[in-house]
Amino acid sequence: MGAVAAAAALLQGAPMPSAHAAACPDAKVIFARGTTELPGVGPTGDAFVNSLQSQVAGKSIEVYPVNYPATTDFRTAIDGISDARAHILATAAACPDTKMVLGGFSQGAAVMGFVTANVVPDGVSAATVPAPMPLDVADHVAAVALFGKPSARFMRAINDPQIVIGPNYVDKTIDLCVDDDLVCDPDGRSFGIHSRYADVGMANEGATLVANKLQALWAADAAAAADPEQAPSPEQLAAPITGGIPPAHAGGSAPGPTGPLPAPAPAVPVSPGQDHLAP
């Protein structure tokens, strides 16, 4: 009985688990990995997140890996679009002050690009694809970081509509492509280079640009709290989103339809000796 009483006393004195949800983070990275990469955010996503966390030390950064198959059956990319959309909406509702960063590599970049779309394309049944997000959700997104996003040429080769960033996200989007990457460079010829975004420092480059956007938003929030009438806008504090990116690395967002990725039907010619790597 003595042992039972002692245990009861210890339990009564121990702190009980909180019934409240965990505090909202300062920022949340929602990242979709590339084709055939293991569940998580993938090597490019890991390099990007690690660099970002080091550049905004002192701020809490939560990471959510988009849950989707990421296989060469590109029709299942719609699962990623649905999952990312649901998590973005849930975060905006539960943590309205959290700054979201949307990101993706290769097929994951296509997924996240389609998530930002503001329309369902012609010829696609609205019943088969996720509805565009409410326009005001963009107010909760600090940046969109895309690595190796499939080009219009590549999307035509697999009989899929090109990826068009929604107008509310264009100014927040960082679209990085390694030179000669067959997937994202309109004139690219190499699949081998497609897996080297971390190696060539481009994941770190994207993280630096995102960190600048986040710091500008946090500074604007702090200024508004201190003096609401004199607070500068985030646009006055932020550097141009494409600053420091060579023209060949900054992808465009030409108007066009959006939609999920269908099954692969690559028609891009690959010369003998080239590496083959699915996007």
Catalytic residue among 26, 51, 87, 194: 194
Q: Residues 149, 154, 156, 158: is their CA dihedral positive or negative?
A: negative
Residue 106: active-site member: yes
Residue 233: active-site member: no
Query: Residues 257, 161: contact at Cβ < 8 Å?
Result: yes
HEC states along 55-99? Answer: HCCCCCEEEEECCCCCCCCHHHHHHHHHHHHHHHHHHHHHCCCCE
Catalytic residue among 51, 82, 106, 195: 106
Name the burial class of residue 79, with classes exposed (0-12), middle (13-18) and buried (19+) by CB atoms within 10 angstroms of its CB.
Answer: middle
- CA–centroid distance for 82 within its chain: 14
Cβ neighbours of residue 69 closer than 8 Å, sequence gap 6 or more:
76, 79
Catalytic residue among 26, 83, 160, 181: 181
Task: Give CA torsion, residues 223, 225, 226, 230, to 10 deg.
Answer: 60
Residue 181: active-site member: yes
**What's phi and psi for 252, nearest 5 deg?**
-95, 175
Task: Give CA torsion, residues 278, 69, 28, 139, to 10 deg.
Answer: 80
Please list the active-site residues.
106, 181, 194
